[in-house]
Amino acid sequence: MNTLKRLLWSMGLAGCLFGAATLPGVAQIGVTIHLGPKPPPRVEHYGPRPRPGCFWGRGHWVARGNHWVWIPGHWICR
């Protein structure tokens, strides 16, 4: 019983060491681009509510690459 326990312990330790030795190195590089302040919100014109229970989700600016992109608003209905 003691020999079996040692054998299993040794195999587990060897497996952990082998697994750690085969992992590739990992490096992370971060790049921050400062775009400046967001442009002011655009004035959106929207028609009447399509049906009761709907509300208008306002548009917003999103950073894409090195510039700001306007995502237009839309109706959100339940």
Given a cut of 80, whether residue 25 has pLDDT beyond it is no
pTM as predicted: 0.52
Q: Tell me what the mean pLDDT of segment 46-69 comes to.
A: 93
Given a cut of 80, whether residue 34 has pLDDT beyond it is no
DSSP letters, 21-70, are: HHSPP-----------SPPPPPP----S-SSTT-EEE--EEEEETTEEEE
- Cα separation, 38 vs 62, in Å, equals 9
Domains of the chain, residue spans: 49-78
